């Protein structure tokens, strides 16, 4: 097993390298960039980015000579009339004064030691930004996964026991409809119904805590947090039941039809003893081993729109805003961390499966 783990860990290196290389290559051909973003903002054509050059840019623009930036007009759209020295200073500030290959190798070297630099437009270390937004996304992902498993597993078992009956048919129809509707539509519906949209004002509309959160008691803080998290977690979880529910149902059906179940019944064991004493632990292997992967999927999938709708300042919203602002250090750092976590979670899922079922031997597999 140690040899298998070592091989998987070594394979993560070229995988991460390939992800970074492909992403970096795509960015080189993507239109726009941080320099163009600052130029557009200073020309009054773009107010979407928060630039740290806003203070010094005015004086530079004031002294710019018409036509002085003609040689930059082909390279940067909107640079006509700007001082070439100012454009060169922008390139140096963003690191674009170096050739692309040198910039890529510098990024790889820094990322190897988790040095992600500073945000272009937020004037803060990238790791600090990620640490500030991480708790919000983790809350959504963790609660969504726990709620999904808490409902999907009992429901899947009930569907397997009553296959073909009315409960199985109706729940399948409801689950499929829920899976087909995007989570952000559920979020809007919940806001309209329960957050003062048109009917009841039961839950808060935005944020994870109230304004007076710091003044509350420990129990009050817990209640306040749970009160805020109900709607966004519900919106995320409503569409996530399908996969785990049908996986649990099919796993139980497969085990119920095996010979050892028939033998256990012939010995006079009750149906409940057969189901939960023999079938359960075998059928749940694949479901439980997939928990780490389900968590990481819930952590990153669908959170952007939910964070936006409920004004939750998490990693999804940070990544989206950074992409719009061409804040490449934040974009690449999120990509790197997400990819690294995904690779580790996949390895953890395999190890969990092998731990739950000793019959699994990855040493005999070719990686």
Per-residue H/E/C for 46-84: CCCCCCCCHHHHHHHHHCCCCCCCHHHCCCCCCCCCCCH
How many C-alpha atoms does 360 have within 13 Å on its Cβ side? 16
Q: What is the DSSP letter of 276?
A: I
Q: Residue 78: its pLDDT value, please?
A: 55
353: left (phi over 0), alpha (psi -120 to 50) or beta: alpha
pLDDT in tens, 236-253: 887 777 878 888 888 888
Residue pair 210/228 in contact by the 8 Å Cβ criterion: yes
Please count the residues of the chain. 367
Q: What average pLDDT is seen over the chain?
A: 78
Q: Residue 77: its pLDDT value, please?
A: 58
Q: What are phi and psi of 118, to 5 degrees?
A: -115, 150
Q: Residue 170: its pLDDT value, please?
A: 92
Q: Is the dihedral of CA 136, 138, 141, 147 positive or negative?
A: negative
Residue with tokens 């039809």: 257
The C-alpha torsion from 329 through 332 and 336 to 338, rounded to 10°, is 110
Domain ranges of the chain: 132-356
Closest of 339, 337, 327 to residue 118, by C-alpha: 327
Q: What are phi and psi of 285, to 5 degrees?
A: -55, -50
Q: Please check the confidence at residue 64 and state whether its pLDDT lies above 60.
A: no
pLDDT in tens, 8-21: 889 889 999 999 99
pLDDT in tens, 331-362: 899 889 888 887 888 787 777 777 766 666 66
C-alpha 257, offset from chain centre: 38
Matching CATH number, 132-356, of 2.160.10.10, 3.40.50.1820, 1.10.3720.10, 2.60.40.420: 1.10.3720.10
Stretch 361-367: mean pLDDT, rounded?
56
Q: Among 7-11, 194-198, 215-219, where is mean pLDDT lowest?
A: 194-198
Stretch 299-318: mean pLDDT, rounded?
76
Which of 1-5, 75-79, 107-111, 193-197 holds the top average pLDDT? 107-111
* Longest pairwise C-alpha distance within the chain: 96
pTM for the model stands at: 0.70
Residue pair 79/72 in contact by the 8 Å Cβ criterion: yes
Stretch 205-216: mean pLDDT, rounded?
82
Q: Please check the confidence at residue 311 and state whether its pLDDT lies above 70.
A: yes
Stretch 144-172: mean pLDDT, rounded?
87
- Say how far apart CA 276 and CA 283 lie, in whole Å: 10
């Amino acid at each position: 097993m140690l040899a298998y783990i070592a091989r998987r860990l070594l394979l993560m290196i070229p995988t991460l390298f390939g992800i970074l290389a492909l992403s970096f290559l795509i960015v080189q051909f993507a239109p726009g960039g941080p320099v163009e973003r600052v130029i557009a903002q200073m020309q009054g054509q773009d107010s979407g980015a928060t630039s740290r050059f806003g203070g010094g840019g005015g004086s530079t623009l004031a002294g710019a000579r018409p036509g002085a930036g003609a040689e930059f007009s082909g390279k940067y759209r909107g640079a006509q009339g700007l001082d070439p020295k100012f454009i060169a200073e922008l390139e140096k500030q963003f690191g674009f004064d170096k050739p692309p290959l040198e910039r890529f190798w510098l990024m790889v070297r820094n990322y190897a030691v988790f040095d992600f630099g500073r945000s272009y437009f937020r004037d803060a270390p990238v790791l600090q930004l990620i640490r500030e937004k991480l708790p919000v996304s983790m809350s959504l992902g963790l609660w969504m996964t726990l709620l999904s498993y808490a409902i999907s597993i009992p429901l899947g078992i009930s569907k397997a026991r009553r296959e073909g009956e009315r409960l199985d048919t109706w729940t399948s129809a409801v689950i499929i409809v829920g899976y087909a509707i995007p989570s952000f539509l559920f979020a809007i519906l919940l806001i309209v119904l329960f957050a003062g949209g048109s009917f009841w004002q039961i839950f808060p509309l935005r944020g994870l805590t109230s304004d007076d959160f710091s003044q509350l008691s420990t129990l009050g803080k817990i209640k306040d947090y749970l009160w805020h998290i109900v709607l966004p977690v519900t919106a995320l979880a409503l569409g996530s039941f399908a996969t785990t529910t049908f996986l649990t149902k099919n796993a139980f059906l497969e085990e119920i039809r095996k010979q050892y179940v028939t033998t256990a019944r012939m010995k006079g064991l009750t149906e409940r003893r057969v189901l939960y004493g023999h079938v359960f632990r075998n059928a749940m292997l694949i479901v439980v081993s997939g928990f780490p992967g389900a968590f990481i999927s819930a952590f990153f999938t669908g959170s952007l729109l939910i964070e936006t709708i409920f004004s939750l300042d998490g990693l999804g919203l940070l990544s989206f805003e950074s992409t719009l602002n061409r804040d490449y250090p934040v974009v690449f750092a999120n990509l790197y961390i997400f990819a690294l976590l995904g690779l580790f979670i996949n390895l953890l899922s395999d190890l969990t499966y092998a731990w739950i079922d000793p019959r699994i031997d990855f040493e005999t597999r070719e990686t």
